[in-house]
Structure formats: structure tokens, C-alpha cells
Amino acid sequence: MKNKYILLGITCLATLCSCSDDKVFVPEYTVKLEAEQTMTSTVDVATTYQVIDGFSASGAWTLDYVGKYWDNSAKEGMAKLLFSQDIKSGSPEGIGLSMWRFCLGGGTAEQGDASGIEDKVRRGECFRNENGSYNWSKSIGQQFFMQKAKEYGCDQFVLFSGTAPVYWTKNGKGVSASGGHANLKDDCYDDFADFLATVAEHFQGQGYNISYVSPVNEPQYNWTSGQEGSGWQHSEIKKLAIELDKSLTAKGLDNTQMLLAEAAAWNYLYEDGNSGGRGDVVYNFFDTASPNYIGDLKHMPKLICGHSYWTDLTWNTLYDVRSRVYNTAKPYDLKIYQTEWSMMEEGYEDCPVYDDASYMDIALAMAKVIHHDLVTTNVSSWSYWTAASQEQYSQKSRFYLIRLIPEGGDYGDIKDSGTYSAGKNLWVLGNYSLFIRPGYQRVDLNIPEQSNQFYGSAYISPDKDKLVVVYTNASTKSVQMENTINGLDRQVVSVEQYTTSNSMDLRQESKSQQGYIPAKSVVTFVYTLQ
């Protein structure tokens, strides 16, 4: 069945009248937003692609401080922005994240300045003490947001680690001096695996669905300073994976899987690049001819993951790199996750200089990354890096969804409770995360005039009762959208439109403005089907 659903502005009528000597003018005319151009699109729900598992962000590192030291009203407000799915009076309370990443520290916070990590915010507490006992009051700030996520309905959690506990590392620190090799003592692989599984077991027992344990972060880097981390060879990752698989099995964590290994950039999945033999990840882990094959482990899903950094400056680069990722993973029938992104570089084609860019410009650059990760790479999960941070060093909103302003200002001590605000990145991510729920499947969307300035994607619910279409208009001209839906065996009974722009934060539009897509905006249409 074909449904022609034209989204046009609905007119509003008023009357002109007068009363006594007081003149009250209510003009009688048609109110209609006139777009500068009209575009068409066709959704084909019969042509399907990947199923979406969720949208995510991480509690590293600032939220551990916020959750521990800030006042309750601020913490509750931030949690609502991240996890609430409620829409009240046309305004969403939050963006309804459906996955959440918890950072497992290696004990550098306990070491303090001796850790070699200058920024205290980037140090992490460790649940395990050196004597083998566990202190579950560690990372209490992160635990606050983990609890709030569950209360709001987020039920997928990822435990990720940058380093093994420091007393098992070769140099006794969470930063590495081992170059491209693992900063983990040869006889401690089983210990590290047991630690990871024990933490997963604990939180699973607390009612959290620990979907994944990610023990290795960006192994293509050496991580000599700055934050917890270590380089890893493929053979070392395989050794750890075997031990972690054993530990998860021994603890009966049948539904917890391994997430291996979070590549520092997409290109490392299909080429060595500058990794010194730590690239070609798909071949190394999933080809049976590889000496590093781990695809047969019980807790190893047919899933590969990477970070969207460094390959995101232009539309052409976004497409070319992500096409190669998709084509590399496809022969192995691998699901793909994007597990970290924030704006790491200067020189984005739509906002080359941050000083000149608006917050919406930065959010539109993010929207372009999300689009290509979903449509070109076919990722089933997309994750922002840090959910909250301070705005410093002319970085604007490059590294946060929520802006933190401690009592002492942007450069104040993060321990001092302060104020916060929702950034444009938060609301643009919400154009996707709030409406595209776990189990939704991407379907075909054709826009004849699609370009790097106007593009979109579409998703159908498991019960085929909701259709979500997200458009990004990065141009300086407004658009009137006319949309055709093919392949439906039911009718469109209603539509809602939610707009994020310079002046709107995921605002539900009135019927009179539906179909009007402002310049420099991201717009979500939610069709109810019956």
C-alpha cells in the first residue's frame, strides 16, 4: 500500500471585532509558514536494514564527581535530561538514552598525583582492593547515575575499562610504559578477567542488565599519559578474551557478552593504518585463518565496535571510511557498534573554526556523524563520549551533552556543586534516541535531492505501529517536506513533529507548523500507524 502523507502547514483563522470604545483587533487572515523550498521523500518500509539496540553515553569522568559531591536537585535534573522519556506540554523532559556506559577505574584515583595522570577528573577508583576484598562504595557518583538510568527505564549497561587494577600492571600505574604491548603482568590475565566478571556479577545481582563487558579501550594507542589506558597486541587481547570468557561462564553470566575491542578509529577495523600491527581488527578476531581468532568463544558475539573519531571532517570522508567498515564486516555477518564520539579535531566542513561556530553548528556536525554511522556503517548502537563536562579552553560544546558550571565557574573545582545546562548536542541526539527505541529497524528513505546539507533516515517499530523519520537540514534555507510512505498495510492516523534548532530544543510543533523544516535544524517526525 502507498500512503501519500503531505506535511503542509495548517491554516489558522481569526476574526476582527470591536467592543465599545476599546478596539480589540484580531486579524482575520491565514497564518502559514512559507518555506523557501519544497522537497520530497519516499519511505519504503518493506526495505529493511539493521535493528537498533540503543543510543548511549558514558558516565566518565565528571559524573562521578557530580554524583558524589553536587546537590541532589542538580543531579536529579541531569539524570532526567539523560534518561527521561516523558514529554510534557510538548517539551521532552530528556532524551531517553536506552544504553549507559560505566567506566571501571583501575585505582589511579587512590594513587592521586603519584598516578602520573595530571587531571584528577581522569583518574578512576577501583572496586577491588589489593588484598582481594571489594569496596562497592567506590565510584559512588557513577553509581548514582547508573541507578537513575535504571529507574527511568534504561536497561542495558556496558562496563568498560581502560586499565587493569594498578597492582597488576607492569609499571604499577594506570598509564603505560609498555609501548604497543599490554601493561598487564603476564601472570595476571586471569586475575584481571576475574575482576571484570566479579564486578559484572555484583551489578547483575543489584538488578542491572550488564549486557557487555569491554576490557580493552583503543588498543592502537600506547596511552603513556593523560588518562587510564594501555596499548594491546591482538595476541594479548585474545589471551584476555579467553580468560574473561572462562570467568563469565564460571559465574553463570550467560547474558553478559564481551565487547572487543573498541578500536580507536573506524579505519583500524579494515586496515593497519599507523597502528603498528594492531589494526585489521575484523580479520584478526573473526577470520578462522587468523591466529588471533576468538569468534568461537561463548561470550564473544558476532559484533565489532569502533570509535568515530578522526574520520569525520567531511561528508566524503564520512561516507568512504564507513562504507569500508560496512563492507569489511558484512562477509562475517557482524553487527557493528559505534561506542565513542565527540569532536576531536578542528576543520569540520560546516564549522571549520570553533570560535565562529554556533552551538547549533557543532550539533549539526554531530548529526552528520550520527547519520553516516547509522546509514552508511549500519551501526546498531551509537554512543556519545562524555555525557557532561565543563566548557573550557574555547572548546564550546565539543565534549558534552550537558554543560557543567561549578560554583567557581567554568574553570572551578568540579567538586563544588554548581549549575548545569542542556546543550544542543543533547537535544540533537534526542532527535534520535528519544524516538528510535531498542528493537526499531531502519527502513529505506529516499530523498531525490539529498546532499551533505539535507539528509535523513527512517525507522519502523517492532509492532509496525510507529514510524520515525529524522531529517537534518544544515542549509540556510527552510524546507517544506512532502513525504510518501510505501509498503504499509495500515494507515497513518497521526503525526508529531519535534524540532531542534537555534531557537528550539526538541520542541513539539503545533499542527499548523508540521512539515516545515527550518534552516539549520534537525527534525523528527513520529507517525502513529493503525
pLDDT tens for the chain, 530 residues long, are 455 555 544 333 232 233 334 444 444 444 457 899 999 999 999 999 999 999 999 999 999 999 999 999 999 999 999 999 999 999 999 999 999 999 999 999 999 999 999 999 999 999 999 999 999 999 999 999 999 999 999 999 999 999 999 999 999 999 999 999 999 999 999 999 999 999 999 999 999 999 999 999 999 999 999 999 999 999 999 999 999 999 999 999 999 999 999 999 999 999 999 999 999 999 999 999 999 999 999 999 999 999 999 999 999 999 999 999 999 999 999 999 999 999 999 999 989 998 899 999 999 999 999 999 999 999 999 999 999 999 999 899 999 999 999 999 999 999 999 999 999 999 999 999 999 999 999 999 999 999 999 999 999 999 999 999 999 999 999 999 999 999 999 999 999 999 999 999 999 999 989 999 999 999 999 999 99
pLDDT at position 32: 55
ω before 61 within 30° of 0 (cis)? yes
Domain with CATH 3.20.20.80 in the chain: 51-441
Specify the pLDDT at position 13.
Answer: 28
- d(C-alpha 13, C-alpha 26), whole Å: 10
Domain 2-8+37-49+444-529 fold: Immunoglobulin-like (2.60.40)
CB atoms within 10 A of CB 450: 14
pLDDT at position 2 is: 54
Please give the model's pTM, rounded to 2 decimal places.
Answer: 0.94
| Total residues belonging to the chain | 530
The answer to whether residues 186 and 238 touch, using CB atoms and an 8 Å cutoff, is no
Reduced to 3 states, what is the DSSP secondary structure of residue 160?
A: strand
Closest CA to 221 of 212, 208, 230, 213: 230
Could you tell me where in the chain the CATH 2.60.40.1180 domains are found? Answer: 2-8+37-49+444-529
User: Nearest CA to 139 among 66, 200, 220, 43?
Assistant: 66
- Look at residue 20 in the predicted model and tell me its pLDDT: 37
State residue 512's pLDDT score: 87
Are 61 and 390 contacting, i.e. CB atoms less than 8 angstroms apart? no
108 near 124, Cβ under 8 Å? yes
Does domain 51-441 match CATH 3.20.20.80?
A: yes
Q: Beta strand 91-92 with 87-88: parallel, antiparallel or unpaired?
A: antiparallel
Helix 315-329 / helix 359-375 crossing angle, nearest 10 deg: 30
- What pLDDT shows up at residue 24? 46
User: In Å, how far from its chain's centre is CA 143?
Assistant: 19
Helix or strand or coil: residue 323?
helix
Give every CB contact of residue 97 below 8 A, 6+ residues apart in sequence: 54, 55, 56, 57, 82, 83, 149, 154, 433
Cell numbers for 206: 543489584
8 A C-beta contact, residue 279 and residue 322 = no
